[in-house]
């Protein structure tokens, strides 16, 4: 297990470097003067010259790339002050450190992701398992039907409906907002509940359909029949044999969904007026805030890489055949 | 009721009491989108303790379905079953699922065809062997583990104490089949159903597995139902033989009787289409003409008549209209008279077998 982890983590470092390089050169090749962008409107040529020097834009491209990469690893100095590692530069729009802006928004994104994950795993997988267990019955048909209907909803449709019902007309709940769970666990829970449920609804349907179909597939496997032939009970075979085999595709999808959610749930954040990473990404690109855009992009890439490694580790725990290879 | 026990030689003497396993007028039907499949169509057989019944027939002749039905492993929603299956005085058809669970893996066990897919890849071999023992005997995890080691040793796995913790993918094909046998025998079942247990194995391993099964039968005294389409295998394994075609038994008798002097044209066809080690390599095998019938809509009368070469000897179109009955004991479900069967076999079939 350890050699695997070391190999994968060192691979991840290389890939992160390549993503850094790709991001840098991608944005460098934009036909826009960064100094002008950073300066904003009505900027005097003198100011532009100063900014160009401050940002190091007067240096050759190789030196700029080196500074950018070294900044991530070791931190770098800007006229605004020292930018500690991992330094992703300074926002053009606000003048804040990009890393600080991201970290500022991250708790909301993390809360949204983990809360939504709990809801859609419990409800989605639960409904799928019940449907597979009751295959062919009215229960199965109702759950499968509901999952198809729900999956065709969109967050920006469902969100306002739920807000209208629960917040604006009845006042049962308050407008969603983010409160740190360390300050007020109850406030955090109530503030995030509507976004969790609405966001999870869309995902839930996918998990219901997938867990139902993989379970039904697994239940037809020969080794599952062997377990029945040994006299093991239906429930035992269902959970110990069939469920174990269904985990691989489910974990795969969880990894993909988690990494996309962790880099920001744009639609959910805009629907509920929450300020997370998704909103930050959109705002930064609308403002042509290049360092911030690059930072959000690399931050997302980091999660995708990490979750890939975690999913691969999970495979090894689930399926002993993966352990040797 | 000692239909299959009138052979001379080895095996328990006929006791005259009820047989250990008795299948009577079994009908198994599946509802499918295309209609009702008559997978088993009025099958009866008996089996005594300590004896082996071979069931042969082409794919789709109802061999496996019959035995899955004995274990109650069919899908109850799409399957209709009629008839009786009595195991040691206990009626299995219509028995409660809980009752069947206590019998499966305990009193009756099954060895499946493909050990590659029939063992779960997610659990160790030891755990899979220990599971039924723990469940049926209520012993501790540790005792069940020791039983798994013991069973692995019994089926000839070297270093069983180490290998018990291996996963099936770390076993070779032959070892997996041994592990499967160990699993089936963990609770000393009285009835063992082996569904083509050697089909997926190469010939040398096949011989070892067959020897193992015979040794274990001696030791445990189980009754074995041995399903195969390989007549060579059956001749070394079985005491009695049942030939199935289109969900029906078409011929039965002791292995020696059926293989030496077969009576049914389908059995003749099976024997003629089998290659022999000693025969001339240039001599062509004789396949059975036509293909197995659709069980959605089986032929009228004798289900074999469309592929049979002898309906004109019966005459009167009886083969297409009248279903021949299978006599109790030695016999074949065929309209040819015993005299006609003997003449045709000696004049036309025997020379072909070489």
Q: What is the ipTM of this complex?
A: 0.85
A 10 A CB-CB count for B239 gives 23
- Rounded CA-CA distance A56/A70 in Å is 14
In this structure, the answer to whether residues A94 and A127 fall within a common structural domain is no
Contact: A231, B167; criterion CB under 8 Å: no
In this structure, the answer to whether residues A151 and A253 fall within a common structural domain is yes
B96 in contact with A at a CB cutoff of 8 Å? no
Name which of A223, A227, A319 is nearest B117 (Cβ-Cβ): A223
How many helices (H) and strands (E) are present in chain A, helices listed first?
A: 16, 2
Q: State both tokens at A22.
A: 């790709």
In this structure, the answer to whether residues A108 and A138 fall within a common structural domain is yes
Q: State both tokens at A99.
A: 């890393």
Mutate to test the interface with B, among A216, A220, A224, A229 (most CBs of B within 10 A): A229
- Rounded CA-CA distance A188/A227 in Å is 46
pLDDT tens readout for residues A270-304: 999 999 999 999 999 998 888 999 999 999 999 99
Q: State both tokens at B65.
A: 């379905």
pLDDT tens readout for residues B8-55: 333 333 444 678 999 999 999 998 888 899 999 999 999 999 999 999
- 3-state SS of chain B is CCCCCCCCCCCCCCCCCCCCEEEEEEEEEEEECCEEEEEEEEEEEEECCCCEEEEECCCCCCHHHHHHHHHCCCCCCCEEEEEEEEECCEECCCCCHHHHHHHECCCEEEECCCHHHHCCCCCCHHHHHHHHHHHHHCCCHHHHHHHHHHHHHHCCCCCHHHHCCCCHHHCCHHHHHHHHHHHHHCCCCCEEEEECCCCCCCHHHHHHHHHHHHHHHHHHCCEEEEEECCHHHHHHHCCEEEEEECCEEEEEEEHHHHHHCCCCHHHHHHHHCCCCCCCCCCCCCCCCCCCCCCCCCCCCCCCCHHHCCCHHHHCCCHHHHCCCCCCCCCEECCCCCHHHHHHHHHHHHHHHHC
pLDDT at residue B17 in the model: 60
Contact: B118, A233; criterion CB under 8 Å: no
Contact: A226, B132; criterion CB under 8 Å: no
In this structure, the answer to whether residues A124 and A207 fall within a common structural domain is yes
Size of interface A-B (CB pairs under 8 A): 72
Instruction: Please tell me which residue of chain B has the smallest CA distance to A319.
Output: B122
In this structure, the answer to whether residues A83 and A222 fall within a common structural domain is no
* Closest approach of B106 to chain A, Cα-based (Å): 7
**Final residue in a domain of this structure, among A46, A77, A98:** A98
Chain A residues closer than 8 Å to B77 by CB: 136
Contact: A231, B77; criterion CB under 8 Å: no
pLDDT at residue B10 in the model: 36
Residue B308 pLDDT > 70, yes or no? yes
| Domain membership of residue B298 as a residue range | 264-353
- Rounded CA-CA distance B106/A203 in Å is 44
> What's the structural domain count of chain B?
1
| Domain membership of residue A255 as a residue range | 104-324
**Final residue in a domain of this structure, among A49, A77, A98:** A98
- Rounded CA-CA distance B324/B341 in Å is 14
B77 in contact with A at a CB cutoff of 8 Å? yes
Q: State both tokens at B170.
A: 């770390």
A81 in contact with B at a CB cutoff of 8 Å? no
Mutate to test the interface with B, among A223, A224, A317 (most CBs of B within 10 A): A223
Contact: A320, B167; criterion CB under 8 Å: yes
pLDDT tens readout for residues B185-203: 999 899 999 998 888 778 8
* Closest approach of B128 to chain A, Cα-based (Å): 8
A317 in contact with B at a CB cutoff of 8 Å? no
Name which of B112, B114, B135 is nearest A231 (Cβ-Cβ): B135
Model confidence at B220, pLDDT cuts 50, 70, 90, reads confident
Longest CA span, chain B: 69
> What's the structural domain count of chain A?
2
- Tokens 């807000």 -> residue: A163
Residue at B28 is within a domain: no
Instruction: Please tell me which residue of chain B has the smallest CA distance to A136.
Output: B77
Residue at B205 is within a domain: no
Where residue A141 sits, what CATH number does that domain have?
1.10.3720.10
In this structure, the answer to whether residues A108 and A60 fall within a common structural domain is no
In this structure, the answer to whether residues A122 and A85 fall within a common structural domain is no
Residue at B155 is within a domain: no
Name which of B112, B119, B121 is nearest A319 (Cβ-Cβ): B121
- Per run of 10 residues, the mean pLDDT along chain A (length 325 residues) is 86 93 89 80 83 83 90 85 86 88 94 93 95 93 91 89 92 89 93 92 90 94 93 94 93 92 89 92 90 92 92 90 70
Residues of chain B with pLDDT > 70: what percent?
Answer: 94
Residue at B78 is within a domain: no
In this structure, the answer to whether residues A110 and A93 fall within a common structural domain is no
Q: How much is the mean pLDDT over chain B?
A: 87
List phi, psi (to 5°) of B111: -110, 125
Contacts 24+ apart (CB under 8 A), B335-339: B335/B302, B336/B263, B336/B265, B336/B310, B338/B263
pLDDT at residue A223 in the model: 94
CA proximity to B108, closest of B223, B212, B192, B211: B192
Residue B2 pLDDT > 50, yes or no? no
List phi, psi (to 5°) of B316: 70, 10
**Final residue in a domain of this structure, among A98, A131, A153:** A98
In this structure, the answer to whether residues A205 and A291 fall within a common structural domain is yes
Residues of chain B with pLDDT > 90: what percent?
Answer: 50
């Amino acid at each position: 297990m350890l050699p695997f982890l070391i190999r994968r983590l060192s691979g991840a470092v290389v890939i992160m470097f390549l993503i850094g390089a790709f991001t840098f050169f991608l944005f460098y090749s934009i036909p826009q003067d960064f100094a002008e962008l950073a300066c904003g409107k009505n900027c005097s040529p003198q100011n532009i010259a100063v900014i160009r020097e401050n940002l190091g834009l007067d240096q050759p491209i190789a030196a700029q790339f080196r500074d950018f990469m070294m900044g991530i690893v070791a931190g770098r100095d800007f006229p605004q002050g020292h930018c500690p590692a991992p330094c992703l530069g300074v926002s053009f729009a606000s003048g804040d450190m990009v890393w600080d802006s991201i970290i500022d928004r991250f708790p909301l994104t993390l809360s949204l992701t983990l809360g939504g994950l709990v809801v859609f795993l419990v409800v989605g997988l639960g409904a799928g398992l019940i449907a597979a267990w009751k295959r062919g019955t009215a229960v199965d048909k109702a759950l499968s039907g509901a999952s198809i209907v729900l999956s065709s909803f969109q967050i920006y449709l469902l969100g306002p409906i739920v807000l209208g019902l629960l917040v604006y007309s009845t006042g049962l709940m308050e407008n969603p907002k983010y409160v740190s769970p360390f300050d007020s666990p109850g406030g955090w829970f109530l503030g995030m509940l509507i976004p969790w449920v609405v966001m999870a609804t869309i995902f839930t349907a996918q998990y219901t359909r997938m867990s139902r179909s993989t379970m039904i597939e697994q239940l037809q496997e020969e080794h599952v029949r062997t377990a029945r032939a040994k006299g093991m009970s239906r429930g035992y075979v269902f959970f110990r044999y069939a469920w174990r085999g269904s985990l691989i595709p489910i974990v795969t999808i969880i990894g993909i969904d988690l990494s996309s959610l962790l880099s920001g749930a744009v639609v959910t954040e805009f629907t509920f007026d929450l300020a997370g990473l998704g909103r930050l990404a959109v705002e930064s690109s609308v403002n042509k805030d290049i360092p911030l855009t690059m930072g959000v992009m690399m931050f997302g890439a980091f999660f995708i890489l990490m979750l890939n490694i975690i999913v691969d580790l999970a495979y090894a725990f689930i399926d002993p055949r993966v352990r040797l290879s | 009721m000692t239909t299959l026990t009138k052979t001379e030689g080895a095996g328990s003497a006929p006791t005259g009491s009820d047989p250990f396993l008795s299948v009577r007028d079994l009908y198994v039907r599946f509802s499918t989108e295309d209609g009702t499949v008559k997978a088993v169509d009025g099958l009866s057989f008996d089996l005594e303790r300590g004896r082996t019944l071979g069931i042969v027939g082409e794919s789709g002749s109802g061999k496996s379905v019959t035995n899955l039905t004995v274990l109650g492993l069919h899908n109850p929603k799409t399957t209709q079953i009629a008839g009786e299956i009595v195991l040691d005085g206990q009626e299995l058809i219509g028995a409660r699922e809980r009752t069947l669970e206590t019998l499966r893996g305990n009193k009756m066990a099954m060895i499946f065809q493909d050990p590659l897919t029939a063992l779960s890849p997610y659990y160790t071999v030891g755990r899979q062997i220990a599971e039924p023992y723990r469940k049926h005997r209520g012993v501790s995890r540790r005792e069940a583990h020791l039983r798994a080691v013991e069973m692995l040793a019994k089926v000839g796995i070297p270093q069983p104490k180490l290998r018990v913790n291996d996963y099936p993918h770390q076993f070779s094909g032959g070892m997996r089949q041994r592990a499967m046998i160990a699993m089936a025998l963990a609770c000393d079942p009285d009835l063992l159903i082996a569904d083509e247990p050697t089909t997926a194995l190469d010939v040398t391993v096949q011989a070892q597995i067959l020897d193992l099964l015979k040794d274990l039968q001696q030791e445990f005294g189980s009754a074995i139902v041995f399903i195969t389409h390989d007549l060579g295998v059956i001749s070394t394994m079985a005491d009695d033989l049942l030939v199935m075609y289109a969900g029906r038994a078409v011929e039965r008798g002791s292995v020696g009787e059926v293989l030496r002097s077969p009576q049914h044209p389908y059995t003749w066809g099976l024997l003629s289409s089998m290659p022999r080690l000693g025969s001339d390599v240039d001599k062509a095998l004789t396949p059975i003409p036509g293909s197995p019938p659709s069980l959605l809509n089986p032929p009228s009368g004798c289900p074999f008549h469309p592929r049979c070469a002898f309906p004109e000897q019966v005459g009167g179109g009886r083969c297409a209209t009248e279903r021949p009955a299978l006599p109790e004991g030695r016999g074949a479900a065929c309209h040819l008279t015993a005299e006609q069967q003997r003449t045709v076999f000696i004049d036309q079939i025997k020379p072909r077998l070489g």
